[in-house]
Amino acid sequence: MPYLGEIAALITSLSFAFTATFFTFAGRMVGSGVVNRTRLVFGLGMLLITHQLSQGSLFPRAGWEPWLWLSLSGVIGLTLGDAFLFQAFLWIGPRLSMLMMSLAPVLAALLAWLFLGETLTGWQIAGIVLTIGGIAWVIAEQNGQNDRRVAGSSTASAAHPNYKLGILFGIGAATGQAVGLILSKKGLANDFPALSGNVIRMIAATSSIWLYAVFRKQTGETLQQLTAHPRVLLFILGGAIFGPLIGVSFSLLAVQKTEVGIASTLIALTPIFMLPVGALIFKEKFGWQAIAGTVLAMVGVALLFLV
């Protein structure tokens, strides 16, 4: 089938948009912490089944070094990074949160340059500047609109009172994902299977977040919230299906069937898909500056991967 890799990459990007939408609805019902803990259980279960079917074993067979680096990647990227992301969903909405995640490849490139000795071309530096500039442009417009909503009593309910904190949490989420990517790269050395690596990351993330919940005595609260709002399980399950299952599977297919740069660029288009989602589903108000800034940021991401 022609353009199979490109189509798979676009499906991945669209899937992540669905994931953000489902998890935002779930977070509004039971809180971001409950969502993060529960979706990791669902995601891990689906990945283990997928690993059994495709690799012939439930758990990955690997030495201590892949387990070390990939486990660290899971804890930092999936536990801490996604904790920031899910809270950002509630404070600034999924559209802006996913746009902030466009900083992840920028931060990963900078970290690889600093710590792994990788080089940055002039075009890649230009891409970093464009991405940061585009995101800053969107934030500036949204911040002005948010301040006006807070100031007007009649529209105060439409404002985000934790807007600036939400932006910081979005940066924290992108940083967690970037560090997780760098650690994953070390763990996936010597052609270690990407699916097995993802399973290890999920095992580490799920174990760490539930151990923390036990330590903080949050397990009972989690179960109470899920029992009190049984419908939320459908949203969390939907997010887990579109994320770890459909999204990750099609991303692997995309990388396999087309060039990595093309696949990475198309997968990073989620903020573009989030524009109509934000307007139609979450009733967000944004102007041409937000659209232009988002497109500019995506051009910057494309320069990172394609040049």
How many domains does one find in the chain? 1
pLDDT of residue 154: 44
Write out the two tokens for 116: 């792994």
Which of 181, 178, 172 is closest to 70 using CA atoms?
A: 181
Q: Are 242 and 50 in contact (CB under 8 A)?
A: no
Nearest Cα residue to 304 out of 257, 258, 249, 264: 264
**Pair 105, 179: CB distance under 8 Å:** no
Stretches where the chain sits below pLDDT 70 are 144, 146-159
What percent of the chain has a predicted confidence (pLDDT) above 70? 94
- Report the b/e string of 192-227 with b at 16+ CB within 10 A: bbebbbbbbbbbbbbbbbbeebeeeebeeebeebbe
Q: Which amino acid appears at position 147 of this protein?
A: D
Q: From the centroid of its chain, how far is CA 238?
A: 15
Q: Is 258 helix (H, G, I), strand (E, B) or coil?
A: coil
- Distance CA(144)–CA(142), nearest Å, equals 5
Closest by CA position to 200, among listed 183, 176, 219, 218: 183
144: how many CB neighbours lie within 10 A of its CB?
11
The rounded distance, in Å, linking the Cα atoms of 270 and 10 is 9
Question: Per residue in 119-140, is it b (16+ CB within 10 Å) or e — as a string?
Answer: eeeeebeebbebbeebbebbbe
Query: Which residues span the domain enclosing 41?
Result: 4-306
Q: What is the pLDDT, as a whole number, of residue 181? A: 86
Both structure tokens of 285:
């108000």
Q: What is the model's pTM? A: 0.91
Alpha carbon distance 53, 236 (integer Å): 24
| Measured torsion, CA atoms of residues 63, 65, 71, 76, in degrees rounded to the nearest 10 | -170
Other Cβ atoms within 10 Å of 274 Cβ, number: 26
